[in-house]
Amino acid sequence: MALHRIFRAVVTGPPGSGKGTVSSRITKTFGLKHISSGDILRANINARTELGLLMKSCIDQGQLIPDDVMSRLILSDLRATDQSSWLLDGFPRTVTQAEALDDTCSVDTVINLNVPFQTIKQRLTSRWTHLSSGRVYNIDFNPPKVPGLDDVTGEPLVQRDDDTPETVTHRLKAYETQTEPVLEYYRSKGVLQTFSGTETNKIWPLVEAFLHRKLQLVNQKVA
C-alpha cells in the first residue's frame, strides 16, 4: 500500500516476542524504514569501538543500555531520516526513552506483541544464528537441515551471547521492571494496540490487517 503521508510506528514486546520478524514483514509489506535498536547496537559492537565494548558487556549480562546513550544513538538516526515513514523496533524500552522520543517526533501507533514468558524462554534458548547473513533458526520448529550449520552457506551457527538461559532470565526481568511501564505510557496516549499469542505466524496476519485498516484511514484523511 502506498503511503500518502508520513507514518511512524513502534513495535514493542518482551525479548524474543518476534519483534524482529514482525518488523521485517511490516517494513516489506508497507514500505517503512526499519530502525532496530538491537541491530544498531550490534553494528557498534562489531566495529569494536570503546563504546561498543561497554555496550557488549551490558547486553551479555541482560541489562539495558543507559537511557542517555541509547536515546542519543537512536534519535540522531531519526533526525537524519526527517521526512520518511519509519518503524522503530526495540526502542523505546523505558519511559525516559519514550519521553525523549516524544520530544523529537510523534508516534502514530505502537504495536505490542504480548507473548507468554514461558514460550519466550523456550524460544530464545533454542535460537541459533548465522552471523554474517543474520539468518535465524530455531531447533524446535525451524531447524537447519544439518544440525549446527547454515542451510545456504554450510557455515557454523552460533547462539547469541545473550540467549543463554541465565541472561534470558535477566532480560525478562529488565523487561518487566523497565519496559512494561512504557505500555501504560502509550495506552494513556491512545496509540497502543496489543496482539496476543504464542506463534508469530498467527500474530502476523492480525498485525497486517490492523495496519492495512490504519493506513487506509491515514490515506483517506489526506485525500
Q: Which residues contact ligand AMP by CB under 6 A? A: 15, 37-38, 41, 58-59, 63-65, 70, 90-93, 97, 162, 171
Residue 160 is a catalytic residue: yes
Name the phi and psi angles at 88, rounded to 5: -95, 125
Q: Which is nearer to ligand AMP, 38 or 197 (CB)?
A: 38
Name the residue nearer to ligand AMP (CB basis): 57 or 142.
57
Gyration radius of the chain over CA positions: 18
Residue 189 near residue 95, CB atoms below 8 Å: no
- 193 belongs to an annotated ligand binding site: no
CB of 100 to ligand AMP, least distance (A): 10
Question: Residue type at 61?
Answer: Q
- The reply to whether 56 belongs to the active site is no
Nearer to ligand AMP, 3 or 136 (CB): 136
Q: Please identify which of the residues 8, 56, 123, 127 carries the catalytic annotation.
A: 127
Of 93, 135, 145, 189, the active-site residue reads: 93
CB of 48 to ligand AMP, least distance (A): 17
Among 138, 1, 125, 143, residue whose Cα is nearest residue 62: 125
Of these residues, 8, 19, 56, 123, which one is catalytic? 19
Looking at residue 24, its amino acid is S
Rank residues 95 and 206 by Cβ distance to ligand AMP and give the closer one: 95
| Number of residue whose CB is nearest ligand AMP | 38
- Residue 93 known to be catalytic: yes
Cβ–Cβ contacts within 10 Å for residue 51, how many? 14
Q: Is residue 8 flagged as an active site residue?
A: no
- 27, HSE (Cβ side, Cα atoms, 13 Å): 18
CA angle 53, 59, 63 (to 5 degrees): 125
CB of 64 to ligand AMP, least distance (A): 4
Q: Is 127 assigned a catalytic role?
A: yes
Place of cell 550449520: 149
Neighbours of 131 (CB within 10 A): 14
Phi, psi of 87 (to 5 degrees): -125, 120
Which residues sit in the known binding site for AMP? Answer: 37, 42, 63-65, 90-93, 97, 160, 171
Q: Which residues are catalytic?
A: 19, 93, 127, 160, 171
